[in-house]
Amino acid sequence: MMAMDPLRLAIALLPLAAYLMLVGALNLRRRPLLVSGGRDLLALGVALSGFVFVGPLDLLRPEPATAEFGNFVWLLILAFYWLWLVLIVLLARPRLIAYNASAEELHPILAEAASRLDPDARWAGNSLALPKLGVQLHLESYHLMRNVSLISSGAQQNLDGWRQLARELATSLRRVRVKPNPRGAAIMAVSLLLIVVSISQMLRHPVELAASLHEMLTY
């Protein structure tokens, strides 16, 4: 039975393991954390970069570029991936994510912050409109990961208004204490498992590791 390529396995799994470790740690905090949608997308892009690197980018790597630039072709491929990722982040609609907070916990805090920023703030179910800030959003809760997303509603959004809302809400959340999410420990356990699998495969197959590294640097 052919051994799995330990180098490509590690490249694929280790960034994902780091991402899961971070998410697990955030869920074990006793304080919610607010991040922007752009940062969340970048973190997810880093987590999936290994799979993209050993998958589509490796398979679709142009032979003429490899012959022309040699090992530097990998830098060009990574730059191409990151440029696409940054473009996606820039084109994405405004969004905020409150980690380790339920909708029931976040709703009154958001309502209080919204009233301070805009006395004309209006609620309609899980939708909030801040006309003076030029912000319209709705809440989506993810119980498994215990986080809440504030997602823009409609194309007409004021980015400066979103930044003001993010600052005010982040300040309010610093005073909040919540129970750690028990799923955070399970997420960190999965992360550790991926790390152990990656490292054990490299240690068990040093010959395949060296051959794969040589192939990647000389192909």
Residue 213 falls in which region: left (phi positive, over 0), alpha (psi -120 to 50) or beta: alpha
Give CA separation, 177 vs 24, 95, 174, 194, 203, in Å. 17, 23, 8, 31, 43
Flag whether the pTM goes above 0.85.
Answer: no
* pLDDT tops 50 at residue 152: yes
Q: Which residue has the tokens 């994902």?
A: 16
Digit-coded pLDDT (tens) for 1-41: 344 688 889 989 999 999 999 999 998 988 999 999 999 99
Residue the block writes with tokens 């959004």: 157
What is the rounded CA–CA span in Å between residue 148 and residue 168?
A: 16
Max Cα distance, the chain (Å): 68
Residues in the chain: 219
Please report, for the chain, the start and end positions of each structural domain, with discontinuous segments joined by +.
6-173
Q: Which two tokens stand for residue 65?
A: 């570029």
